[in-house]
DNA sequence: GATTTCGGACGATAAACTGA
DNA sequence: CAGTTTATCGTCCGAAATCA
């Protein structure tokens, strides 16, 4: 895998988009596009018409309309698994590298739930002068013969050989909840905002468009859009310390067509079946913290089952696998009731794995008792 | 402030399934 | 049988508790 920073686009991509993407400065660097792809575009191509033909430096087939502020599009066909370039400056929530684990932690580290390394004695054991007891533990054998139900196949988007789902699949992990629809948590950091954006985009299943290549709309929370910092010494319109009132902004519906309620947005009338009654002006959206309040009634144009309500609040709809990712982090502060460890509690240590993710594997702890479910 | 505890997120991977 | 999906098990993050 040669995942390299998209910033130096392949030859076929001249200088579009121009310069550093204008991106809400307080959000940090703009999220990277998948390798070899164009960065997200918070603005229309230099020339819509020519963009359509791939002229003027704009990629062919790129968007031909002007997105409202706060909306980005990403060509569906180009999606690939996202992997942030090394040493990128992507916000941590986005760029967080996968945690690497040693194959086997020493018994000491394992017991302490601390990071170990391959060496023996490991660094930690040396540090604490317990090098002599730094030995590998023993892995337990995986259970066999456990029957499972039929698998649900993931819908292979666009059948593309890339095979993998949208790039957005990746980092949803932290805090989709930030500005996602219901009961979401208050916004926190720019980083999580970015993550949220990706998470949301993930919900729009490709191929849902009637014929044409769908674009993934990526919505930015209103507060994300502030003028870039002044570069020439002049005062920026409104991003100084005073936390300017975010420009009012509508949430749009996902779908194969660009959201039309935006003035000066569409080149033509929306297709009949998408026509909507005149939308009342969006209510002024409250400050960031409550951005979450007004979720887009995500469906309407929504084809098939494409969009699930962005149930950010943990319910992590989607696949079972994601389980933890979606669920846990949601409110950032996982409060834990530290059990009152009464003095010298023998290190029987947690009946391993009994707790957290569902007691499904309670058996593990139960060591003695063979897996409950296995019948 | 350093160290210990430990809940739970996350990574790795083997076993069960599936489709060709 | 190769590829995919899922369950299981291990690692270790990170916050609270405790110690010195």
Residue nearest to nucleotide C5 (CA to C1'): A151
Q: Which residues have CB atoms below 7 Å from chain C, the nucleic strand?
A: A 99-102, 104-105, 109-110, 113-116, 137, 139-140, 142-143, 146, 148-149, 151-154, 163, 319-321, 333-336, 338, 340-341, 343, 352-353, 357, 360-361, 363-364, 371, 373
Query: In this predicted model, which residue has the larger pLDDT, A108 or A336?
Result: A108
Q: How much is the pLDDT for A155?
A: 57
- Across the range A347-361, mean pLDDT stands at 33
pLDDT surpassing 60 at residue A107: yes
pLDDT surpassing 50 at residue A147: yes
- pLDDT above 70 as % of chain A: 15
Tens digit of each residue's pLDDT (9 = 90 or more) over A187-217: 333 333 444 444 444 443 333 333 333 333 3
Q: How much is the pLDDT for A31?
A: 37
Scanning every strand, the nucleotide with its C1' closest to A144's CA turns out to be: B15
Tens digit of each residue's pLDDT (9 = 90 or more) over A311-339: 333 333 333 333 333 323 333 333 332 33
Q: How much is the pLDDT for A123?
A: 86
CA of A92 to C1' of B2 (A): 28
Residue nearest to nucleotide C13 (CA to C1'): A114
CA of A140 to C1' of B19 (A): 32
Q: How much is the pLDDT for A96?
A: 62
pLDDT surpassing 60 at residue A170: no
- How far is Cα A273 from Cα A254, in angstroms, rounded to an integer? 14
∠ Cα A152 A153 A156 (to 5°): 150
Neighbour count for residue A28 (Cβ, 10 Å)? 20
How far is residue A110 from each of residues A56, A107, A121, measured CA to CA in Å? 58, 5, 13
Scanning every strand, the nucleotide with its C1' closest to A356's CA turns out to be: B8
Nucleotides of B under 7 A from a protein CB: 3-19
- pLDDT above 90 as % of chain A: 0
CA of A368 to C1' of C20 (A): 40
Residues 6+ positions from A283 with CB-CB distance below 8 Å: A248, A294
Residue A73, strand partner residues = A41, A217
How far is residue A206 from each of residues A76, A88, A138, A209, measured CA to CA in Å? 6, 28, 45, 7
Q: How far is CA A98 from the centre of its chain?
A: 14
- Across the range A25-38, mean pLDDT stands at 34
CA of A303 to C1' of C15 (A): 44
- Across the range A77-93, mean pLDDT stands at 37
Scanning every strand, the nucleotide with its C1' closest to A327's CA turns out to be: B9
Q: How much is the pLDDT for A22?
A: 30
Phi, psi of A323 (to 5 degrees): 0, -85
Q: Which residues have CB atoms below 7 Å from chain B, the nucleic strand?
A: A 98-101, 103, 112-114, 128, 142-151, 153, 173-174, 324-325, 327-329, 334, 336-339, 341, 345, 347, 349-350, 355-357
Nucleotides of C under 7 A from a protein CB: 4-19
Q: How much is the pLDDT for A153?
A: 73
CA of A87 to C1' of C5 (A): 32
Query: In this predicted model, which residue has the larger pLDDT, A156 or A242?
Result: A156
Domain boundaries, chain A: 1-97+157-223+298-316, 105-138
How far is residue A196 from each of residues A168, A172, A191, A309, measured CA to CA in Å? 10, 7, 9, 14
Closest of A157, A185, A177, A171 to residue A316, by C-alpha: A177
């Amino acid at each position: 895998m040669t995942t390299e920073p998209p910033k130096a686009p392949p030859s076929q991509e001249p200088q579009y988009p121009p310069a550093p993407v204008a991106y809400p400065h307080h959000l940090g660097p703009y999220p990277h596009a998948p390798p070899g792809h164009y960065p997200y575009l918070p603005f229309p191509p230099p020339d819509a018409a020519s963009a359509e033909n791939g002229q003027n430096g704009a990629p062919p087939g790129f968007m031909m309309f002007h997105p409202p502020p706060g909306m980005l599009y990403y060509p569906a066909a180009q999606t690939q698994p996202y992997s942030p370039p090394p040493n990128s400056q992507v916000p941590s929530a986005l760029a967080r590298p996968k945690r690497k684990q040693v194959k086997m932690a020493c018994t000491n580290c394992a017991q302490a739930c601390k990071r170990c390394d391959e060496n023996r004695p490991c660094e930690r054991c040396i540090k604490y002068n317990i090098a002599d007891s730094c030995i590998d533990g023993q892995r337990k054998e995986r259970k066999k013969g456990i029957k499972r139900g039929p698998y649900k196949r993931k819908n292979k988007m666009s059948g593309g050989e890339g095979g993998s789902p949208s790039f957005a699949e990746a980092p949803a992990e932290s805090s989709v909840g930030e500005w996602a629809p219901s009961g979401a948590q208050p916004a926190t950091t720019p980083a999580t905002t970015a993550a949220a954006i990706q998470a949301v985009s993930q919900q729009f299943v490709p191929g849902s468009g009637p014929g044409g290549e769908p674009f993934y709309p990526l919505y930015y929370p209103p507060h994300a859009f502030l003028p870039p910092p002044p570069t020439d010494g002049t005062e920026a319109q409104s991003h100084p310390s005073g936390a300017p009132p975010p420009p009012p902004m509508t949430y749009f519906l996902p779908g194969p067509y660009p959201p039309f309620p935006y003035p000066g947005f569409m080149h033509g009338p929306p297709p009949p079946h998408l026509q909507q009654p005149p939308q009342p002006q969006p209510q002024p959206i409250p400050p960031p913290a409550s951005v979450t309040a007004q979720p887009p009634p995500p469906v309407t144009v929504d084809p098939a089952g494409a969009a699930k309500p962005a149930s950010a609040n943990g319910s992590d709809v989607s696949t079972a696998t994601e389980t933890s990712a979606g669920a846990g982090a949601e409110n950032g502060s996982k409060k834990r009731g530290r059990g009152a460890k009464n003095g010298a509690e023998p290190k029987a240590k947690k009946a391993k794995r009994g707790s957290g993710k569902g007691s499904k594997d309670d058996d593990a702890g139960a060591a003695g008792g063979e897996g409950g479910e296995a019948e």
